[in-house]
Amino acid sequence: MRHVLAPFPGVDELAAPSRLRTAPRPFALGQPITGPAKRVAALRALGVETRGDLIDELPFRFEDLTAQQTIAEAILSGEDEVTVIGRIGSITERPTRRRGLRILQTRLSDDTGELALTWFNQRHLARTLEPGTRLVARGALKVGARGAELTVRSHEVLDDPDGVQVGPGLIPVYHASSQISTGVLRGLVAEALTDLIDGVPDPVPVDLRLRHRLPLRRDALKAGHQPRTRNAFQSARRRLAYEELLLLQLALLRHRREADDRAGAIALGSPGELSTAYRAALPFELTGAQARALESIERDLDSDQPMQRLLEGDVGSGKTAVAFAALVRAVEAGGQGALMAPTEVLALQHLRGAERLLEPLGIEIAYLSGDVPEKERRARRARIAAGQPLIAIGTHALLHTEFPDLRVLVVDEQHRFGVAQRAKLAKSDGPVPHVLHMTATPIPRSLALTAFGDLDLSVIDELPPGRKEIKTSVVPEAKREDGYRWIVEQVHAGRQAYVVCALVEENPEVEARAAEEEAARLATGPLKDLHVACAHGQMPAADRQRVMADFAAGKIDVLVATTVIEVGVDVPNASVMVVEDADRFGLAQLHQLRGRVGRGQEQSYCLLYSSAEPTPEGRTRLDALVKHTSGFALAEIDLEMRGEGRLLGEAQSGRTDLRYARLHSDRRLLDRARDDAARLLREGGDAILEQAADERFGELIAALRRA
């Protein structure tokens, strides 16, 4: 994580520079970089093509010279954490007792005194730091019999021969590389600022600037690089973040409007008798949140503008009942509906639900997935191709099916599908279907508005009544056997348990083998009197489904599995979830796994087995899971810990390629930008802003258009 290195909590987390540039910069200052070819190449490798790029990227942290003391002051101060400036002597290197660890040492001196400087594992410094170099060093000071010794946490070279001489105050630190030092970068940025800053245009119209009391872009950039105080940096970054979010929201909302204008859907009118019958047949009352989501969907379906709605709801929040209601509307209107799930397990489960809830209403269901025999599949495809009113349920197999009259499409766990795949089903010459995207990965609202800002959003933030909170605990290795004894007790009390095996990075085969071995170990060891079975993604689909079905039917006590059970499995009698090496899983994934239990009336438990020494991040994740049960709370923590880029995975990460905004801390700024963008478009748009939005987010919009 980037900001672990930063010496000043609070300052570094502000800028989130991204070196992955795909789109041209807004109103980019296109002056090419000149100078030695090696330097130009080094800058290009950092994503810097023009001098404008140099100033578009804010420092990722600052070295605070205002906190500095003379060496004598530092030694006398008795403080543990000090900042001193001085010149270094020659550097010596020696190994430590711990294997592989190297220590670098030198002396640092100023007019008042001298101390020993120590770095751990920074061997390259021996090559880059010349004796006599002036630097600022910050770290832990120990004063002992052998004198004063400073273990360096961070340092900056103050007089790089090619860099700028830095004065007092906050010294910007940029992401450098082995080819170009931060000192040289600092010099180039300072030069570019001096030369270019007066010509920096500002796309944000003056009325918005006044309303939100924002400085000019020009002044924000200057203060972002050379702030006098940390507060000055804060305001500068916020100004740039606001602009960035405004441009992004403009781009997304404009794309949405164009898409709406391009393609029409069939308005489904208001709900009729079949819908009433469906509601009456549900074995429960909808929760308030479900009802609200359904209301919004009804409103969407009543229009000939195609619905593009994201339905977000925690695991077990009851998205299926809402989705079925939308699908019923398609059939009720004499058309077709389709529900696409990412895995066979999940598709099958939807099929079971549909057989229970929809078939009794006389609705035809057509199940399509890879494991349906070819002949049967062809027959079902023929029914669909004939335009028969029905609801198709399946996996990717649905993508190869032609729907002559598709009115409503539900895509479950939409983040698992590429944008293009989604589009394939939805695209046809005639009217397009209304589309409901569902996800059980609670995405913070800010992230949803950014990554899926072209979709409308419904959130089911309430669980059906009567759910007991799942009790979660972290089980250290020493208590492992106690955990097993306790599982045996639970099973004797009539419950069932899952054991999810450790994640094997990108190797499903090894992972599957590990699960089989673990199942065998448990079945012959600690759980030998119980019926233990194994399920993983490498098994033939039919075998896996049989195991899952046996587990659902209560014929298996303990299901040892890889993460194939992550998505959607619903076995209400399972009340214990054990996760091996839990500290290595992501927060969202752990939350998903935990959501497999707690679906029935019994008290449920989640046991997080943790390795002896989890990383600090792993530890934080486990603690968060013990403390929070709401997926939305956990998602906010995840956003705070990991930043926005990685939350969405590969497919969508480019969509939040934000340079200044931090979605966790900038939530209010984002809402403001969203409102402003919507109002601007309602009031006829703003040519300059829209041009800037095209420049900055053109690639994103192009990707959305292809979809």
Which residue ranges make up the site for Mg ion (CB under 5 A)? 568
CB 189 within 8 A of CB 33: no
317 binds ligand ADP (CB under 6 A): yes
Binding range to ligand ADP, per CB under 6 A, among 44-52, 315-323, 494-502, 640-648: 315-323
Asked whether position 631 contacts ligand ADP by CB under 6 A, the answer is: no
Q: By CB under 6 A, what part of segment 542-571 binds ligand ADP?
A: 570
Minimum distance from CB of 508 to ligand ADP (Å)?
24
**Which partner in ligand ADP, Mg ion, none is near 321 (CB below 5 to 8 A by kind)?**
ligand ADP
Residue 313 interaction partner, one of Mg ion, ligand ADP, none, beta carbon < 5-8 Å per kind: ligand ADP
The listed partner (ligand ADP, Mg ion, none) that binds 570, CB under 5 to 8 Å by sort, is ligand ADP
Q: Which residues contact 632 (CB under 8 A, 6 or more apart)?
A: 314, 442, 444, 459, 461
Q: Considering the rule CB under 6 A, would residue 410 count as an interface residue with ligand ADP?
A: no
Q: Does 319 bind ligand ADP (CB under 6 A)?
A: yes
Among 66, 79, 272, 284, binds ligand ADP (CB under 6 A): 284
Using rule CB under 6 A, residue 395 touches ligand ADP? no
* 436 is an interface residue for ligand ADP by CB under 6 A: no
Identity of the residue numbered 517 = E
| Angle, CA of 23, 29 and 31, to the nearest 5° | 110
- CA pair distance 245, 665, nearest whole angstrom: 13
Residue nearest to ligand ADP (CB): 318
| Distance of alpha carbon 228 from alpha carbon 232, whole angstroms | 6
Q: Is 208 in the site for ligand ADP (CB under 6 A)?
A: no
Q: Provide the minimum distance between the beta carbon of 322 and ligand ADP in the complex, in angstroms, as a whole number.
A: 8
Q: Which of ligand ADP, Mg ion, none sits in contact with 635, Cβ below 5 to 8 A by type?
A: none
464 interface partner picked from Mg ion, ligand ADP, none, CB below 5 to 8 A per type: ligand ADP
Site string for ligand ADP, 463-482 (x = CB under 6 A): -x------------------
Q: Which residues of 256-279 are buried (b: 16+ CB within 10 A; e: fewer)?
A: beebeeebebbbbeebeebbeebe
Q: How far is CA 638 from CA 223, 442, 489, 548, 552, in A?
A: 30, 11, 34, 31, 32
Closest distance between Mg ion and the C-beta of residue 438, in Å? 7
Among 153-161, 247-255, 308-316, 524-532, which window interacts with ligand ADP (CB under 6 A)? 308-316
Q: At which residue do the structure tokens 């995207």 appear?
A: 437
Residue 120 lies near ligand ADP (rule: CB under 6 A):
no
Give 177-240 as a DSSP string: -SSS-HHHHHHHHHHHHHHHGGG----S-HHHHHHTT---HHHHHHHHHS-SSHHHHHHHHHHH
Token duo for residue 140: 């832990």
455 binds ligand ADP (CB under 6 A): no
- 310 contacts 380 by C-beta, under 8 angstroms: no
Per-residue tokens: 115: 């101390």
- Provide the strand spans (E) within 43-178: 61-64, 81-88, 92-95, 102-110, 113-120, 134-144, 147-157, 170-173
Three-class secondary structure assignment of 330-374: HHHCCCEEEEECCCHHHHHHHHHHHHHHCHHHCCCEEEECCCCCH
CB of 664 to ligand ADP, least distance (A): 25
Instruction: Give, in order, the Cα–Cα distances in Å from 318 to each of 80, 429, 497, 548.
Output: 54, 34, 22, 21
Q: How many residues contact ligand ADP, by CB under 6 A?
A: 17
Nearer to Mg ion (CB atom), residue 53 or residue 412:
412
Closest CB to Mg ion among 47 and 353?
Answer: 353
Dihedral sign of CA atoms 676, 680, 686, 692 in order: positive
DSSP structure string for 606-625: EEEE--SS--HHHHHHHHHH
Closer residue to ligand ADP in complex, CB, 181/317: 317
Distance of alpha carbon 308 from alpha carbon 191, whole angstroms: 48
Question: Residue for token digits 């909170």?
Answer: 469
Q: Please identify which residue in 46, 157, 411, 440 interacts with ligand ADP, judged by CB under 6 A.
A: 440
**Interacting partner of 290 out of ligand ADP, Mg ion, none (Cβ under 5 to 8 A depending on kind):** ligand ADP
Give the nearer residue to ligand ADP in terms of CB position, either 144 or 465: 465
In angstroms, rounded to a whole number, what is the distance separating the alpha carbons of residues 438 and 311? 5
Rounded to whole angstroms, the Cα distance separating 446 from 253 reads 15
- Report, in Å, the least distance between residue 570 CB and ligand ADP: 5
Asked if 290 interacts with ligand ADP (CB under 6 A), we say yes
Using the minimum distance from each CB to Mg ion, give the nearer residue, 568 or 598: 568
Q: Is 490 in the site for ligand ADP (CB under 6 A)?
A: no
* Binding test (CB under 6 A) with ligand ADP, winner from 91, 240, 321, 330: 321
Which residues ranging from 591 to 620 are in contact with ligand ADP (CB under 6 A)?
599
Other Cβ atoms closer than 10 A to 611: 15
Mutual orientation of helices 273-281 and 319-332 as an angle, nearest 10°? Answer: 150
Structure tokens at 45: 């490798």
Give whichever of 290 and 656 is closer to ligand ADP, judged by the CB atom. Answer: 290
One residue of 316, 444, 614, 645 binding ligand ADP per CB under 6 A? 316
Stretch that binds ligand ADP, among 157-165, 245-253, 281-289, 534-542 (CB under 6 A): 281-289
Would you give the binding string for ligand ADP spanning residues 672-691, x where CB under 6 A is met? --------------------
Mark the segment that binds ligand ADP (CB under 6 A) among 238-246, 262-270, 297-305, 311-319: 311-319
- Work out what residue 181 binds among ligand ADP, Mg ion, none; the CB cut-off runs from 5 to 8 Å by kind: none
- Our measurement of the distance from residue 454's CA atom to the centroid of its chain's CA atoms, rounded to an integer in Å, reads 18
Give dist(CA 421, CA 414) in Å, integer: 10
Q: How far is the CB of 176 from Mg ion (least distance, A)?
A: 47
Q: Quickly count: other Cβ atoms within 10 Å of residue 674's Cβ.
A: 21
Q: Minimal CA–CA distance to 398: which of 380, 376, 419?
A: 380
- Kindly state the smallest distance separating residue 568's Cβ from Mg ion, in Å: 5
Residue pointed to by tokens 């709406």: 260
Which C-beta is closer to ligand ADP: that of 83 or that of 320? 320
Min. distance of Cβ 637 from ligand ADP in angstroms? 20
Q: Give the footprint of ligand ADP on residues 372-391 (CB under 6 A).
A: none
Cα(652)–Cα(418) distance, rounded to whole angstroms?
Answer: 8
Which one of the spans 99-107, 125-133, 317-325, 508-516 is the region binding ligand ADP (CB under 6 A)? Answer: 317-325
312-320, 383-391, 502-510, 690-698 -> range binding ligand ADP (CB under 6 A): 312-320
Binds 59: which of ligand ADP, Mg ion, none (CB < 5-8 Å by kind)? none
C-alpha to C-alpha distance for 673 and 677, rounded to whole angstroms: 6
- Contact positions toward ligand ADP, by CB under 6 A? 284-287, 290, 313, 315-321, 440, 464, 570, 599
